[in-house]
Amino acid sequence: MKLEDNTYKCIIAEILKQSPNTTFYYKVGDEYRQGNHAAKPGNDYVDGQLLFFVGSPAEFRYSVSFSGDRVTALGDMPLDVLRQMIHKQNASEPKTPHG
Enter the pTM of the model. Answer: 0.79
Q: Is the pLDDT of residue 63 over 50?
A: yes
Extract long-range pairs of 75-84: CB within 8 Å, 24+ residues apart: 82/16, 82/50, 83/16
Other Cβ atoms less than 10 A from the Cβ of 8: the count is 20
pLDDT, mean of residues 38-42: 79
Q: How far apart are CA 78 and CA 82, in angstroms?
A: 7
pLDDT, mean of residues 70-93: 90
